[in-house]
Structure 1
């Protein structure tokens, strides 16, 4: 396909042609785990990687997942992609494939809770040194990088405080010391942000979220150069966190409407953030699309849309959260995001459920914080429901 296509077209068409026999309009859902070959020579050529082709679902993936990988690589402007069984499988698999005992990682303090757990507990157990910096302090990152680094791990915007990192600046500093730059692009999506064009080497997604978009399939993906993704694919092959065919099929179908959905997610989140900012019961709203967001200018320079997630802090703290959330009639309470439905969550049950209350406090996550993944409903109905709940 042409490299000059727009994201909406890429989301619909990329990655599928080679996996659509007889030009069927939908990539078939194939449950077969292995493919037969007529002779040993052709079989071995595929097994060695000399000739592309399916072999065994854990090794080379099944055709449905291959189509998904091709589509997501095209959306991120990457040479290749590797699909995993979940977003955390993609994150942990990528880090473990790249790192060795004695390696150094530099990351922000505000990463997603599961990632933060990896940084604080899992990686140190394997002899990896982790330096956590103030997420938005680029100078602190540059100092930590200058001391030596193998992997720079970014997340922008962050979950759930919606902090924004200067990808271009930090990637340049990382490359100056020979580090690989990995970024979680789940909140932004490739429609709103293209990290590889800003200097990142690998882009991660929890495909469970906006890419799938319907809260009915779990998966993860990492996109980047062929050399890096081959290393990560081999790790997935040995450790087994491959994507199942049904989830691949549902995610593939969901991605087709990604650009269309993100336009509505972006617009609704902006409208809701501006409304919440004026509400007397709300102490603070975190959304990079707001002019007074601390990193709004950076976000505007590297994002074409500000995403479908915001968070807000209620003045009454945790007691207010317990009072307000059950009173919402239209907005749902659930531990996920990126769905067509508007979802409310609190860090203790969603983004930072792995952390203790003390760890959440140390990370600057207030007790009265509510994360809102804004869906694609009519924003007037969303505001009306929040208004009656906050009244």
Structure 2
């Protein structure tokens, strides 16, 4: 590959798009326009922050609005997709997405709310086993959540929350260091709650190995899958994960603030002794309208539901899950490896671009994080002058996520050329 031959590189990128085993589904999404007129559409690499809108979403919302207009309260039982059990429509596709059994998943709330509900059940500090393990570069919301849980239990967050750091001079957290900490300090750890794919570096954690080690140490193991769901294949049930939660507005393209997903392993959903915070929709549907004062929770993740589902917020999630069901995570992961690998190969010769994401394709998701000066300014210039939309994490990280549903090799070519010119 001749990096001094943009025309040849562009032709190669288009050829890769034409011959890829998984043709792009770009036409099924609404792509923002690119300023400047050189390209009609943006090259969109911010799907790890907010995914693009599927074209099918508007029609789904219109159908629900129409049922509301025609049927009002009767739409709970007589709508095209009756509202009373609407969340059930998401159960099986969500289970397939994360490698779970249907009764182990439920769509509800937002990510951090779900993490709090999970910790209310599964973070039970006692004696010397009080600590919560997170990564030092955990998303701030997770850090805030675990610190507040420590305070809720009368503990000092500074002593309770353990932030695992990379080795000096390194950017990513080594699996052997996580396992080593659990082997040495496991009897003090009550909860392991890491990000499946780190939001900052794009590192894909070894979830099976860490889950096994955490549970062997006597800890509960939960995962924040905000950047993993819809990005990498997951096998939550088989990995013996205790709980997990994920948002649906990033790789799952379900809209800003979309309803999150939650997983609880079946050994817990079948255990009536597990404490939980409860609400109306967490009781058995067959007795819900008896208005009994005592709850009768089902033996499923539904027992953690609080309120009736927000139909207009769930409709986009259902539309998105249908796309993932049709294409399949294995095919999407294979394409994301090709796209991310191609983009990495185009950026590697640029000496002023430090890629902090793991070089091993198996150790990263659909993301490359670059360390550059003035990350925010660079992202603005990429968008305003080249129609390449990325995002910045101040002070010095630019993130590029070639989401395989709508990103193309030609998009990667545009990003590489733009970065070569602007950095």
TM-score range, shorter chain: 0.5 to 0.7
Shift of 1:254: 0.3
Per the alignment, residue 330 of structure 1 pairs with 387
CA contact (8 A) 1:106 1:133 kept: yes
- Would you say 1:108 and 2:165 are equivalent positions? no
- The residue that corresponds to 2:200 in the other structure is 160
The corresponding residue for 1:307 is 365
Alignment of 1:200-349 (within 5 A): 200-211=241-252, 213=253, 215=255, 218-226=258-266, 228-229=268-269, 235=277, 237=279, 240=306, 243-258=309-324, 259=328, 264-286=335-357, 288=358, 290-291=359-360, 299=363, 306-314=364-372, 316-318=373-375, 321=378, 324-332=381-389, 344-348=390-394
CA contact (8 A) 2:376 2:393 kept: no
Aligned partners of 2:386 and 2:418 also within 8 Å: no
Q: Which position in structure 2 is the counterpart of 1:358?
A: none
The match for 2:19 is none
Q: Post-superposition shift, 1:370?
A: 0.8
Deviation (angstroms), 1:234: 5.2
In structure 2, which of residues 102, 105, 109 is the aligned counterpart of residue 85 of structure 1? Answer: 109
CA-atom RMSD, angstroms? 3.7
**Aligned pair partner of 1:179 in 206, 219, 232:** 219
The 8 Å contact of residues 379 and 392 in structure 2, kept in 1 or not, is answered as no
Higher relative contact order (CA 8 A, sep 6+): 2
Equivalent residues of 2:94, 2:105 under 8 A apart: yes
Alignment partner of 1:378 is 2:408: yes
Q: CA deviation at 1:152?
A: 1.5
Identify the range of structure 1 (176-185 vs 239-248) with the bigger mean alpha-carbon deviation: 239-248
How many residues matched? 300
> How far apart are the structure 2 equivalents of 1:95 and 1:384?
43
Partners of 1:106 and 1:130 within 8 A in 2: yes
1:319–1:220 CA distance, 2 compared to 1 (3 A): closer
Larger radius of gyration: 2
Question: What is the CA–CA distance in structure 2 between the aligned matches of 1:390 and 1:323, rounded to whole Å?
Answer: 15
Q: Deviations for 1:264-308, whole angstroms, at most 9, x for unmatched residues?
A: 44432232222222223312241x4x33xxxx66x3xxxxxx532
Query: Which residue pairs with 1:19 in the alignment?
Result: none
1:217/1:131 CA distance change after superposition, 3 Å: closer
Residues 228-274 of structure 1, C-alpha deviation per residue, up to 9 Å, x if partnerless?
Answer: 35789953627947641122121111012223655544432232222
Deviation at 1:161, TM superposition (A): 1.1
Asked whether the equivalents of residues 68 and 252 of structure 1 are also in contact (C-alpha less than 8 Å), the reply is: yes
What SS is found at the alignment partner of 2:138? coil
**Are the equivalent residues in 1 in contact too, given 2:379–2:398 (CA < 8 A)?**
no
Distance 1:387 1:36, change over 3 A: closer
Tell me by how many angstroms 1:183 deviates: 1.4
| Counterpart-to-counterpart distance in 1, 2:266 and 2:209 | 24
TM-score, normalising length from structure 1?
0.64
**2:188 aligned counterpart, secondary structure:** coil
Of 69, 74, 79, which residue of structure 1 is paired with 2:91?
69
